[in-house]
Amino acid sequence: MVLALEHAQAGGLSGQIRRIPSSVALGYGHEDQQSLADATPDGPVYRDAGGTDTLDNGPHGSTILATGPSLARPRAVGYPSAVRVPIVAILAVGGLLGQVDQQRLELAGSEPQNWLTYNGTYFSQHYSQLDGIDLSNVVDLELRWVYQAESTDKFQATPLVVDGVMYVTEPPDKLVALDPASGREFWVYHHELPERIYPCCGRVNRGAAILGDTLYWGTLDAKLVAVDAATGRKVWETTVVEDYERGYALTVAPLVVNGKVIVGTAGGEFGIRGYLAAYDAATGEEAWRFYTIPGPGEPGHETWENDAWKTGGGSIWLTGSYDPELNLTYWGVGNPAPDWNPDVRPGDNLYTDSVVALDADTGKLKWHFQFTPHDEWDWDAVQIPVLVDLDWDGVPRKLMLWGNRNGFYYVLDRETGEFLLGRPFVKQTWAAGLDENGRPVKIPGRGPSREGTKTWPGVQGGTNWYAPSFSPSTGHFYLSVWEGYYSIYYKWDQDYEPGMRYLGGSPRGPVSSTRRTRFMTYTEEDGYGAVRALNPLTGKVVWEFAMTDVTDSGLLSTASDILFSGSREGHFYALDARTGELLWQRYLGGQIAASPITYKVGEIQYVTVASGHALFAFALPE
């Protein structure tokens, strides 16, 4: 819900507060228009003739506010015709109610009309209890609106939906508030980037977080910014990395826990020393820091030789999970550097390619599990930690499900880090198996070489950063996979130079690693994409939905046993989560490299996904 003012005064926000659905259009003209300064104190407003206002946020930032006749729409029933209120004022008053506190975040699954975190809930199951779109009517889904981004950068963001407002990050430098029922902009916050930035794999941003009435998001010049959710005005800004020119960036959607905003640093391909850090949500002051590459005297430093730890990588670029009962937050850690010449970094190279369990209040390490010690193939372990409570051998356990880039599916005890199960879920030729502790038994000669080594899976792995899903309804674990996909891995000598890519080699193969190509030039023998449903307790495949091309799409399951997915070709699918049967599809024309979400406005359930450079929203006919 958003709030409108009834009998509002032209000079201020006095008057009775009236609840109206956010789906109801609010119109206004120039007459009796309230000053935006009342809704956005402490910042000058610059009015444009085209129907927008620009709010100066000081260094690095500005906010564009939706005002003026260009956005005039039918007014709400019962709304005084003589008074029109700017959208930003409506949102400002709306912020007085329904703030997102810690309890709401912990119980996010109980309000499925919203999508309160990057992964939906702290358990990161990408599952919704909404059931209005079901097996009988999903075939009737129709397009409701499209939000076209100004940028042609990769759109990998997952939106938040909070009490009738959608918040989405638009690459490379914008945070946008939208009407989730129409796609109309409320405001746009623009972070001014320097001329040169250092993202590894595209100028992307994967999303924001919320606490109270404040949004938090990271930038490609390694800053953390707090923005007022009602007005789009900057609240504070803190520098996460001073010397970002060495290859640091923030692409991850933050995770808010107990009044702290947790983010991590991207840049593993530049030889950074990665870390996670928590910042006070009210002030932006750093509360704790955990280095993913341990220094001298820190546990794990013995897994590095010489000074390789100084340029060891270990980036963080996907959002972690949180167990409130244990007060542990779980994060996957990226690859070591250099990527493909492991000779210069002997040892296991902790905590790269690991999941780390940290005390959310202090950042202290509780346990870790390393999936690929001494990684030679660039198989980041940044995949989403999916938390479930299931019986294991007849005993209730707190579990973590993990489809890893290295091609193995894992089950861990998330309280202790104990290895419970490991099983390949795609073709892999680098390991003979896993030992009793889950450590891979590597096959000699399968790493990069100067003449090139053909190894399965390829550099993008059996799966990657695209979100998996767990459905309590079906009991299945779902993930997007690249089956039969390989790379030929090369290595060479390379010296480290600050701010330059530090790779030590390169993978090559017929399948493009990150970008959709205009025409497919490879065959099924080179690999294909699929959605697979696994039995979470055994890792065995229950069903597969195969695609022509590979897939970069995250997954979403619902209480009505619908599973939403997408393909690199641009197809958006609805599958029967029980069987994998295709129920509905639409061609959106652009690569889908983000996760779909679902939410509800009034009585209408929507499903939204990014494709190409736009955000598409679908719903059933009214």
Which residues are the active-site residues? 378
Q: Look at residue 526 and give its three-state secondary structure.
A: helix
Task: Give yes or no for a contact between 516 and 569, defined as CB atoms under 8 angstroms apart.
Answer: yes
**d(C-alpha 271, C-alpha 337), whole Å:** 5
6 backbone dihedrals φ, ψ, rounded to 5°: -100, 135
Report residue 600 CA to chain centroid gap. 20
Q: Please report, for residues 90, 289, 609, the alpha-carbon distance to residue 590 in angstroms, rounded to integers and kept in the order given.
A: 34, 38, 11
Write the single-letter amino acid at 381: A
What the block records as the tokens of 546 is: 């195969």
Task: Give yes or no for a contact between 330 and 400, defined as CB atoms under 8 angstroms apart.
Answer: yes
**d(C-alpha 155, C-alpha 556), whole Å:** 18
Q: Please report, for residues 311, 343, 450, the alpha-carbon distance to residue 488 in angstroms, rounded to integers and kept in the order given.
A: 25, 18, 11
What the block records as the tokens of 69 is: 């006749």
Contacts of 279 (CB under 8 A, 6+ apart): 224, 238, 260, 261, 262, 263, 285, 286, 287
What the block records as the tokens of 3 is: 């709030």
What the block records as the tokens of 454 is: 């053909």
**d(C-alpha 288, C-alpha 276), whole Å:** 8
* 391: alpha, beta or left? (left if phi > 0; alpha if psi -120 to 50): beta
Detail the DSSP E strand segments found in 292-418. Answer: 321-323, 328-332, 354-359, 365-370, 386-392, 395-403, 408-413
Q: Which of 608, 345, 600, 364 is nearest to 491 (CA)?
A: 345
What the block records as the tokens of 50 is: 């085209």
Question: Is residue 437 packed enough to be buried (19+ CB in 10 Å), middle (13-18) or exposed (0-12)?
Answer: exposed
Task: Give yes or no for a contact between 234 and 189, defined as CB atoms under 8 angstroms apart.
Answer: yes
